[in-house]
Chains A and B, each alone.
Chain A
Amino acid sequence: MNRKTVLIIVILIACLSGCVIHYFFDFSIWQYIINKQREINQIIITHVQTIKNDGFNGAIIFRLFLFSILYGVIHAIGPGHGKTLLSTYLLRKEKGYLTALSTSTIASIAHIGSAVILAFMIKYIFVGIGHFARMNMISYFGKVNGGLIAILGMIFILTALSNNFNLHSLSHKAQNDKMIGILAGFVPCPASMSIILVSIYLSVAYVGLVSVGGIVIGIFFTLLVIQLLTILFKDQLLNTLKKYKLKGEKIGKYISIFQGMCFICLGIMFFRY
């Protein structure tokens, strides 16, 4: 049995076991991840409260930072962190480890950075904005983001299907690590926004900043691991396609169409939120 067959069998067994455990034992890995997030969320607020009550304590801040990294790792496993977008982007032949590193960095900083900026704007510029209006603002970010991703998807598909020079040039510009990274992390992280706002409210804004700093590292880690796995699978996929005697040009075309379709689906999903 070759490596590919073993890999497929392992994935199938894992999926089947997941279904059996979910159905018979009312356990979902998703629920487990949510519970863990909730536990760490509680630990973070407890640490913030402790610093508020007892004053600066280096050991507690360091612990908070470590828990925040862990929170970021688990949090990024959940939806809306650009994993699919970044992985699909990586499917192109020329994209490799450097792309994975740069897009993960940009996406995680954009996701948290936009939340921090928004939180400070809410506190000092849009004063008096209510809880629901804040959620709505994040939802609008999601809609704009969804629209942009879907447009990008359409460009990829049209480019693959036509020989138009302008379209090819536009598509080439769109295949840009910075832009894809920003799109992947464009929607502000609601959890980080809450951490910043609550820490400002408790007059310990720096503690909130330390915490979201940890979350950035955690999210970066998860995105990077998923992208590295994508690169491994991509090599396997390209080798398989070559076996079917598909020319490099054709493979690129199919990948572009697949990429475009994924981007459009993701865009629609984002738009819905």
Chain B
Amino acid sequence: MFVDVNPKIASMKDGKIKIEIIWYFDEFTSTGLLMDYDENKNGKFDRNESESIKKDFFNNLKRFNYFIDFTLNNIKQKINISETRLLLTTTGEGKNKRKLVTYKFILHGDYSKSKIINGDLSFYDYTIYSVLSPGGNMTFGEKIKPISSKFIKSKCQYIFSIGVQQ
């Protein structure tokens, strides 16, 4: 299973940070998920189908910490996610039409009112059944001005630094 990861620092307020993460699944996995969960075979995930995919698949990832390792100012963060959304995107046209599954969620962190946040976010599945790779640079919400940001492709690791407006 191959997954492209795209993180975005969505907001920072009162010592709390929200990171929006999108996982883009490869075509094989997406087809497999459709095969398993699109019960009425209408080519999309209805509400109850989305719920069962979340319950059976994503909720079970909790015991693997969603393959996330997250540190803020050298403090390891407890992996706490919310606002999960399952989407089915279509690419290409005609015979080349492909359906890809994406999963969107918010990761929460606590930086306890520091003036500078040094963050380290990495994705790794130690069970080796899935491979998570960076889908691109980390992005930032409008009001957030990063001091520095980089990612290490070979480790699917994002290292960032943000100044906090007091």
A30 CB contact (under 8 Å) in B33, B127, B152, B154: B154
Q: Quick one: CB contact mask for B15-53 with A, threshold 8 Å, 1 for yes?
A: 000000000001111011101110000000000000010
Contact assessment for A31 and B57 in the assembled complex, using a CB-CB cutoff below 8 Å:
no
A42 CB contact (under 8 Å) in B27, B36, B133: B27
- Return chain B residues, CB-CB under 8 Å to A201: 31-32, 35
Contact assessment for A31 and B153 in the assembled complex, using a CB-CB cutoff below 8 Å:
yes
Contact assessment for A131 and B127 in the assembled complex, using a CB-CB cutoff below 8 Å:
no
Assembly CA distance A78 to B125 (angstroms): 14
Contact assessment for A190 and B26 in the assembled complex, using a CB-CB cutoff below 8 Å:
no
For chain B, the count of residues having a C-beta within 8 Å of the partner chain is 26
- Return chain A residues, CB-CB under 8 Å to B153: 26, 31
Contact assessment for A133 and B56 in the assembled complex, using a CB-CB cutoff below 8 Å:
yes
Interface residues of A in 124-181 (CB under 8 A from B): 130-133, 135, 138-139
- Return chain A residues, CB-CB under 8 Å to B37: 130-131
Contact assessment for A131 and B56 in the assembled complex, using a CB-CB cutoff below 8 Å:
yes
A41: interface (CB < 8 Å):
yes
Q: Quick one: CB contact mask for A38-67 with B, threshold 8 Å, 1 for yes?
A: 100110111001100110000000000000
- Return chain A residues, CB-CB under 8 Å to B95: 50, 53-54
A198: interface (CB < 8 Å):
yes
Q: Quick one: CB contact mask for B153-164 with A, threshold 8 Å, 1 for yes?
A: 110000000000
Q: List 12 A-B contacts (CB under 8 A).
A: A35-B133, A44-B28, A45-B28, A46-B27, A130-B36, A130-B37, A131-B33, A135-B129, A138-B129, A194-B1, A201-B32, A202-B31
A: residues with CB less than 8 A from B are 22, 26-28, 30-31, 34-35, 38, 41-42, 44-46, 49-50, 53-54, 78-80, 130-133, 135, 138-139, 190, 194-195, 197-198, 201-202, 273
Q: A31-B154, A78-B128 are in contact. List 19 more A-B contacts (CB 8 A).
A: A26-B152, A27-B154, A30-B154, A38-B26, A41-B26, A45-B31, A130-B57, A131-B56, A132-B57, A135-B129, A139-B127, A190-B129, A194-B28, A194-B29, A197-B35, A198-B31, A198-B32, A201-B32, A273-B128
